[in-house]
Amino acid sequence: MAVTVHIPTPLRPYTGGSASVDVEGATVADALAALTTAHPELQKHLRDSKGRLRSFVNVYLGDEDIRFLDKEATPVSSGAELTIVPSIAGGAA
Amino acid sequence: MSLPELSREEISRYSRHLILDEVGMDGQRKLKGSSVLCIGTGGLGSPLLMYLAAAGVGRIGIVDFDLVDASNLQRQILHGTGTVGTPKVVSAKARVHDINPNVQVDVYEEALTSENALRILEPYDVVVDGTDNFPTRYLVNDACVILGKPNVYGSIFKFEGQASVFNLGDGPNYRDLYPEPPPPGLVPSCAEGGVLGILPGVIGCIQATETLKILLGKGSTLSGRLLLYDALEMRFRELKLRRDPDAEPITELIDYVQFCGVAQHEDAVPEATGPEPFERLSVQAIATRRSEGWAPYVLDVRKPHEAQIVAFDWADRLHPHEDVASIADELPRDRDILIHCKGGVRSAKACAALAERGFDRLYNLEGGITAWAKELDPSMPTY
């Protein structure tokens, strides 16, 4: 399945500046694996040393948080859009 | 509670609201009888405070412990050239009163802490989070949950913003979105990463809009939705936000600096344990050594556009810190290597990355080129 992954600004240095990356995958996990294979530097920003998605990085399939779907086992259909949303704190300084 | 009356002057001032069905006389009196606490008077707080004041919110609290700095003016339009060096709360209060003298302004010139947060937040209907760091964001969230107050959220980074409304009725809060903060060092701050000046204007205006809607009880707020804004692509996206059934209940305030510190994250990006594999040198120590003939290889790990602002003419090479490892083969192993950036954080990362590749004569310029400019060479610009 061809899936588009939207990359947030803080992670774009690790995708060569790309705001979105097209990958293949049947599940969210597949798609993210394809993403980090294409852009290995992303791995440590998305996952901890045990391979779990970091708790301050949310992944959405369409507009749904995958934590409330079937997490990374959630199947994706062709043309699906994944959005990575890390927490950011800026505002005043 | 009976709503306050509007004076003749106020009726004239708010006429464009009064002729809106959704506001009208009752709504405007509601605004006059309401109170909002704005935490932070920076990029987000600037448009927010100005619009809430103009809109006629009766009482506005302002929390900030900082002074106005020249580097704030690129985005913090609440302040001006004439108030550089003065406390932000003083500058903010003067600007708010210039816009609308009918507003009562309460000033808290202190940092929000676990000790004072409940006392400061308690007297307000709505709290707006315009802070710039994770510890304060979790503190504001938890205090709002404990006190049962809506928390209007906005956050920015470079060209991207997030906005939502937390803890409105049974709605989700910040911890439902992000149970834990990122470990220090993994997410750069605006001071490190930069921010488009107009970006907080957009997000702060969205926060102001949501605040007014909550006070008026009109429309559909962002409760249960996370709004993303990408200024570079000029695209808004909207994601669903739900209560996390696994979330721990929030019953008391904790030590948020520790919560957001390294201790909590054993799974953080590997931090060096034990002695650092490089030496940290102050600008004075480096100046002294250089005057005694020390001639290290000097590596600037900032971005090229930063080096265009200001650079050492004695630097040997410029290469961004993220992939400094890729030039390891081109760096001298038989010389001391002094690495610097703007403030000393990225250069320390570069030192660690090169140490992993077997370099053992590494020196980090503490405080970066900014410390050098401030302490040794005031003729150099800072940014």
B12 in a domain, yes or no? no
Q: What residues make up the domain containing B333?
A: 279-375
**Separation CA B318–CA B300 (nearest Å):** 5
Report the CATH number that the domain containing residue B136 is assigned in CATH: 3.40.50.720
B5 in a domain, yes or no? no
A92 in a domain, yes or no? no
The per-residue pLDDT of chain B, averaged, comes to 93
Look at residue B194 in the predicted model and tell me its pLDDT.
84
Task: Give which of A84, A88, A90, A87 is closest to A39, Cα–Cα.
Answer: A84
CB within 8 Å of chain A, chain B residues 103-162: 129-134, 137, 154-160, 162
Catalytic residue among B38, B144, B190, B351: B190
Q: What residues make up the domain containing A29?
A: 2-86
Look at residue B187 in the predicted model and tell me its pLDDT.
64
Residues in B closer than 8 angstroms to A43, CB to CB, are: none
Q: How many domains does chain B have?
A: 2
The two structure tokens encoding residue B342: 């703007």
Name the phi and psi angles at B343, rounded to 5: -125, -5
Report the CATH number that the domain containing residue A48 is assigned in CATH: 3.10.20.30
Judge whether B372 and B380 are in contact, CB under 8 Å.
yes
Residue A38 pLDDT level (bands cut at 50, 70, 90): very high
Residue A49 CB contacts under 8 Å (≥ 6 apart), including other chains: B267, B270
Residue B271 pLDDT level (bands cut at 50, 70, 90): very low
Closest CA in chain B for residue A90: B132
Residues in B closer than 8 angstroms to A54, CB to CB, are: 182, 267
Q: For chain A, give the percent of residues with pLDDT over 90.
A: 74
Q: Can you tell me whether residue B305 is helix, strand or coil? A: helix
**Separation CA B290–CA B307 (nearest Å):** 21
What kind and span of H or E run contains B69?
none
**Separation CA B286–CA B272 (nearest Å):** 24
Query: How close A1 comes to chain B (CA, Å)?
Result: 22
- Per-residue burial over A7-34, b if 16 or more Cβ lie within 10 Å, else e, is bbbbbbbbbeeebebebebebbbbbbeb
B230 in a domain, yes or no? yes
Query: How close A49 comes to chain B (CA, Å)?
Result: 6
Same domain, B254 and B286: no
Res. B163: pLDDT tops 80: yes
Residues in A closer than 8 angstroms to B187, CB to CB, are: 10, 56, 86-89
B308 in a domain, yes or no? yes
* pTM higher than the cut 0.90: no
Q: How many domains does chain A have?
A: 1
Residue ranges with strand state E in chain B:
35-39, 59-63, 104-108, 126-129, 151-157, 160-166, 225-230, 235-240, 279-281, 297-300, 317-318, 337-340, 362-365
Tell whether B184 is within 8 A of chain A (Cβ): no
Catalytic residue among B38, B144, B260, B341: B341
